[in-house]
């Protein structure tokens, strides 16, 4: 059974969502696996991965189209849809135009969370945040956040907002990349913001045997390596993860990452085993 975490007052999302990087292509659109990807997204929703993360950059927008097709049968309020604006579109008018294009591709009137995908030092942060607030004020998105922002840059971004709060920062975080633990995560926990972990399985490396500590704990808890690695992540306060897969077998496996707990000593030993 899926576990949930509050991302905003009265709003919960599953601790495991579904990433879509690579679905529908990478930098350019690719239609070869459209049917398989739509089927995978629907299977994920049925398994409780009702947070779907995508971006205008993924497949040059085609990933958003696939998400839109996949979620069409489901009640809108049963889903939490996140998309992101690319760093070349952070000028005010460009950002609002990107938001509207994403909504058209998704076939939605609004998304639940809109993120600045990457910071852009060539665009004044205040201008970008003003455009993000406009998107929220006009009902294009329920919440706003950032992605790949440092602790200091996230605080600066928040200071540029007049009436909204950044609810999340999406960053790479896994046993193989524990940098957020050094600084960012503690501040987000203190401020009540959600860290959305992408590449939580280290681009698949954590789903395979090879690390002595991870392999040992997988055997101890009778779980797969992927389940242990994801459980380690989402057991942390204010952390959710968005593993990406279109493989039904892998989806069935990773849903087993929730509903149980790694012991504290084992969790510490596991994190130290990758440093």
Nearest CA to 169 among 134, 138, 193, 191? 193
13 part of a folded domain: yes
39 part of a folded domain: yes
CA atoms within 13 A on the CB side of 15: 23
Number of domains in the chain: 1
265 part of a folded domain: no
108 exposed, middle or buried (CB, 10 Å; 0-12, 13-18, 19+)?
A: buried
**What pTM value is reported for the model?**
0.98
250 part of a folded domain: yes
214 part of a folded domain: no
Question: Where residue 73 sits, what CATH number does that domain have?
Answer: 3.20.20.100
pLDDT of residue 275: 79
Task: Judge whether 58 counts as a catalytic residue.
Answer: yes
∠ Cα 176 114 166 (to 5°): 75
Nearest CA to 210 among 234, 228, 235? 228
Mean of pLDDT values over 76-91 = 98
Rounded Cα distance between 107 and 95, Å, is 18
219 part of a folded domain: no
Catalytic residue of the set 57, 58, 114, 198: 58
Nearest CA to 267 among 228, 209, 223? 228
pLDDT of residue 108: 98
**Tens of pLDDT along 140-191?**
999 999 999 999 999 999 999 999 999 999 999 999 999 999 999 999 999 9
Residue-number span of the structural domain to which 23 is assigned = 4-204+230-255
Rounded Cα distance between 235 and 47, Å, is 19
Residue 46 pLDDT > 90: yes
């Amino acid at each position: 059974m899926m576990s949930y975490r509050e991302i905003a007052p009265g709003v919960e999302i599953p601790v495991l969502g579904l990433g879509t990087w690579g679905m529908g292509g990478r930098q350019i659109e690719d239609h070869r696996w459209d049917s398989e990807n739509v089927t995978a997204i629907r299977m994920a929703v049925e398994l409780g991965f009702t947070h779907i993360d995508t971006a205008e950059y993924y497949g040059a927008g085609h990933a958003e189209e696939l998400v839109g097709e996949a979620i069409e049968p489901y009640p809108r309020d049963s889903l939490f849809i996140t998309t992101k604006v690319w760093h070349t579109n952070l000028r005010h008018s460009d950002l609002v135009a990107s938001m509207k294009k994403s909504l058209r591709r998704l076939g939605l009137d609004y998304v639940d969370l809109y993120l600045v995908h990457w910071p852009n030092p060539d665009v004044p942060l205040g201008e970008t945040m003003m455009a993000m607030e406009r998107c929220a004020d006009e009902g294009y998105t329920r919440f706003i956040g950032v992605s790949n922002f440092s602790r200091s840059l996230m605080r600066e971004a928040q200071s540029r907002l007049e009436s909204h709060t950044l609810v999340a920062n999406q960053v790479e975080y896994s046993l193989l990349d524990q940098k957020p633990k050094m600084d960012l995560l503690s501040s987000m926990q203190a401020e009540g913001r959600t860290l959305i972990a992408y590449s939580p399985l280290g681009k698949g490396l954590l789903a395979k045997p090879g690390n002595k500590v991870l392999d040992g704990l997988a055997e101890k808890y009778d779980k797969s390596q992927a389940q242990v690695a994801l459980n380690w992540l989402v057991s942390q306060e204010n952390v959710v993860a968005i593993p990406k897969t279109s493989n039904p077998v892998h989806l069935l496996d990773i849903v087993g990452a929730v509903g149980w707990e790694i012991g504290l000593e084992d969790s510490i030993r596991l994190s130290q085993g990758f440093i």
